[in-house]
Chains A and B, each alone.
Chain A
Amino acid sequence: MNRHLISAGDLSRDDAVLILDTAAELASVAGRPIRKLPTLRGMTVVNLFYEDSTRTRTSFEAAAKRLSADVINFSAKGSSVAKGESLKDTALTLEAMGADAIVIRHPASGAPRRLADWITGRVVNAGDGTHEHPTQALLDAFTIRERLAAGRDDPRGQALDGVRVTIVGDVLHSRVARSNVLLLTTLGAEVTVVAPPTLMPHAIATWPGRASYDLDSALRKADVVMMLRVQQERMTAAYFPTVREYRRRYGLDTDRMALLPEHAIVMHPGPMNRGVEIAAEVADSPRSTIVAQVANGVTVRMAVLYLMLGGATEGEA
């Protein structure tokens, strides 16, 4: 494991499998009467959030607390361009308060990478601009592994070799898509991204995996379909004519869901726009893993903090 978790591309296949296996072990804790482990007692994890994200912040907070770390939530709205303290000064302040790890969510791509240059503690990227969201990709990989292995072997030690994953939506601006393409490819999955051409990255040909503008054909061969949220600001910026047309061409409704192979699952990182990229019937169907993804988020983030902070303590002692 690297010192920091900035990009899913930083993880080797062994790193990624280790995180997933560790998460599987930790998941068993969630079933116990006392859910806390003493692993990170005396350590401090700071959640430094420059964007509102109750979902992700709460997930990291729960993960750190279940490992007995002290948690400081620091929300700083707006970027450093606006009046106020620079990111660097904020980071140095938090480190001076004893932060062992900073979990950062920031609207600027690359902010966690900059942060890692300025502080000595660990940095975990909890989503930076339109760059990456590596723990989302890890929890998605964990969910895929768990669901596709259900009723079969123990998934531990396994990667995702040969699993066909289709990621659909605003790939251009999606940090979830970027991290998933990198991580799932590392784990051996065959990734296809589907988007209207206006929402496909300009240099998509240099990415691993395949790209398509045609959702229907991509669905027929998918083991996993992952729907991305359409951000409100894209709906008014001429990326596509209307929301109605987007839904018609790229939304996952019941007719399209019927094209999927029987075992295939439907994922969404949340929050969903029901009726835009995903129909309510699909979101609530048995194929949907959306609620499981949230639960798995806590255990995967526990695994990340455990391996980054707990492992380090032992190693450096």
Chain B
Amino acid sequence: MAQDETVTQDETVTGEWLIRGVSVVGGPAADVHLAGGVIAAVGPNLAAPGAAVIEAAGLIALPGLVDLHTHLREPGREDAETVLTGTRAAALGGYTAVHAMANTEPVADTAGVVEQVWRLGQQAGYVDVRPVGAVTVSLAGKHLAELGALADSAARVRVFSDDGFCVADPLLMRRALEYVKAFDGVIAQHAQEPRLTEGAQLNEGEMSSRLGLAGWPAAAEEAIIARDCLLAAHVDAALHVCHVSTAGSVEIIRWAKSKGWRVTAEVTPHHLLLTDDLAAEYDTAFKVNPPLRTQADVDALRAGLADGTIDAVATDHAPHPIEAKETEWSAAANGMTGLETALRVVQRAMVDTGLLDWAGVADRMSARPAAIGRVAGHGQPVEPGAPANLTLYDPGAPPAPVDPRTHASKSRNSPFAGMALPGQVRATFLRGTPTVLDGKVTR
């Protein structure tokens, strides 16, 4: 653990940083010199006169994290989150880029909306905000949105998703997968067969049977994933599967990848750690879609992430105001915040269990999501010449209970509230400029 991270010189003199004694992606301690927005040098005992110094012994340097699945809520639900508060939360979680989901009000199905979100992200300046475009107009699943206009807009949209809703119509899904090939796009599917999940409230199993809550069967996710993998193969297009939640889904994706098909997948931190028995007291903090599953599913998801079947951890950060959760279970909103706890959860679920090393974490939380989202300048190795997008993480910070009241997110619906999680994000750099220092946002 770092004894002293006090910045010894005013950064504004040169804008340069010397991070001393940091473990680069879990490797041996080295110094990292940031200058001109890029990584200038990595090596032992670097000299960088004029650079602000961070003593980082005990910390791990990771490439800045990239989230493929973030609900920033703006425009429309600024009571739950704004681009400013959401990206501040992202920076505190170690992120340097996030994909803003399309289910805003109005929906991000026109160039105007995605450009607005993109500009708000630039103005906030904490992370690069990459808007996700809707696949269908109003997320209604009837007509394709003007995907080309979204791709050609200033926001340069490459990821398209109706997240929150499944593109259930198989023909429409096929067309979407095909159409976005023209501009190297990817369809990120929320896999949920709608008829099999009418009124669904909780994973269909022992808990739903006992609690009298309508079941959300694993097969309703797996059936769509299997169908979409076949469609993606047929038209040689890129499919990305959002928030995989079941053991069966992992198997199907593993099979699709073994065929060489262009299928990628993400898992959320909460599906890596939490199970449906947490719903026993109808605590709506644990209501999410897809629902929390069983321990067998959690184990399969961890194994899938470890062996690379699942490419990425994505937060599905879904902020909600208090009144949306302070209700009976069936009336409560689905979703959980996650940006500020993701890396700590991944440490506990994957690293402390020996399933993934820090290089693996860098791959699943930065390199691969950046590649899937076609995000330039992110997810690159911590090497000279790479943009200085960097996270300094202290895995030795003693486990501390999560307190959502201290979060930068505007919402408090963390399922990890009160849970002791290890680790702490100490600093985040976006193109050489710190957005977080000493665990606090810099402005």
Contact = CB atoms under 8 A, between A and B. Distances in A.
Most interface-central of B205, B212, B213, B323 (chain A CB within 10 A): B212
Contact of B212 (A87, A88, A114, A178): A178
Contacts of A206: 206, 209-210
A81 B333 CA distance: 10
Interface string B265-290: 00000000000000001101000000
Interface string B297-340: 00000000000000000000000000100111111000000000
B212 A81 contact: no
A88 B205 contact: no
A128 interface: yes
Most interface-central of B208, B211, B215, B328 (chain A CB within 10 A): B328
Nearest to A200: B209
Contacts of B206: 203, 206
B212 A132 contact: yes
Given A86-B326, A113-B281, A81 B331 contact: yes
B326 A110 contact: no
Nearest to A201: B209
B358 to A, nearest CB: 39
Contacts of B215: 202
A108 B209 contact: no
B16 interface: no
Contact of A110 (B204, B323, B329): B329
Contacts of A173: 212
Grouping DSSP codes into helix (H, G, I), strand (E, B) and loop, the A interface class, with mixed when no group exceeds half, is loop
A131 B208 CA distance: 9
Interface in A78-114: 79-81, 86-88, 106, 108-111, 113-114
B219 to A, nearest CB: 11
Contact of A114 (B210, B323, B329): B329
A68 interface: no
A204 B212 contact: no
B213 A110 contact: yes
Contacts of A88: 326-327
A175 interface: yes
A74 interface: no
A175 to B, nearest CB: 6
Nearest to A237: B198
A129 interface: yes
B329 A108 contact: yes
A126 to B, nearest CB: 15
Nearest to B204: A202
A88 B323 CA distance: 10
A109 B327 CA distance: 12
Contacts of A129: 212-213, 330
Given A88-B326, A128-B212, A178-B212, A108 B205 contact: no
Contacts, number: 76
A239 interface: no
Interface string B190-231: 000000000001001110111111110100000000000000
Nearest to B330: A108
Nearest to A82: B331
Nearest to A177: B212
A245 B341 CA distance: 54
A39 interface: no
B211 A110 contact: yes
A207 B206 CA distance: 8
B328 A110 contact: yes
A106 B212 contact: no
Interface in A249-267: none
B211 A80 contact: no
A109 B211 contact: yes
Contacts of B201: 109
A250 B417 CA distance: 47
A202 B209 contact: yes
Contacts of B329: 108-110, 114
B111 to A, nearest CB: 34
A87 B213 CA distance: 18
Contact of A87 (B204, B209, B327): B327
A201 B209 CA distance: 6
Interface in A94-149: 106, 108-111, 113-114, 128-132
B209 A114 contact: no
Contact of B282 (A86, A110, A178): A110
A253 to B, nearest CB: 29
B212 A202 contact: no
B327 A207 contact: no
A113 B282 contact: yes
Contact of B209 (A80, A106, A203): A203
Interface string A203-215: 1101100000000
Given A113-B282, A128-B212, A202-B215, A87 B205 contact: no
A157 B255 CA distance: 61
Interface string B224-247: 000000000000000000000000
Contacts of B330: 79, 108-110, 129
Contacts of A131: 211-213
A106 B205 contact: no
Contacts of A111: 328
Given A86-B323, A114-B282, A202-B215, A106 B328 contact: yes
Contacts of A81: 327, 331
Given A110-B213, A110-B282, A113-B281, A202 B328 contact: no
A108 B328 contact: yes
A79 B209 contact: no
Contacts of A109: 201, 211-213, 282, 329-330
A75 B329 CA distance: 20
Contact of A202 (B208, B211, B284, B326): B208
Contacts of B217: 202
B418 to A, nearest CB: 15
Nearest to B205: A203
Contacts of B209: 201-204, 206-207
Most interface-central of A87, A109, A178, A206 (chain B CB within 10 A): A109
A207 B204 CA distance: 14
Contacts of A110: 211-213, 282, 328-330
Contacts of A86: 323, 326-327
Given A79-B328, A178-B210, A202-B204, 16 more contacts: A80-B331, A81-B331, A108-B329, A109-B201, A109-B212, A109-B213, A109-B282, A109-B330, A113-B282, A129-B330, A130-B212, A130-B214, A202-B209, A203-B204, A206-B206, A207-B210
11 contacts: A79-B328, A81-B327, A106-B328, A109-B211, A109-B282, A114-B328, A129-B212, A131-B211, A131-B213, A175-B212, A206-B209
Complex A-B, nearest 8 residue pairs according to Cβ-Cβ distance, in ascending order: A110-B282, A131-B212, A201-B209, A108-B328, A130-B212, A109-B212, A203-B209, A203-B206
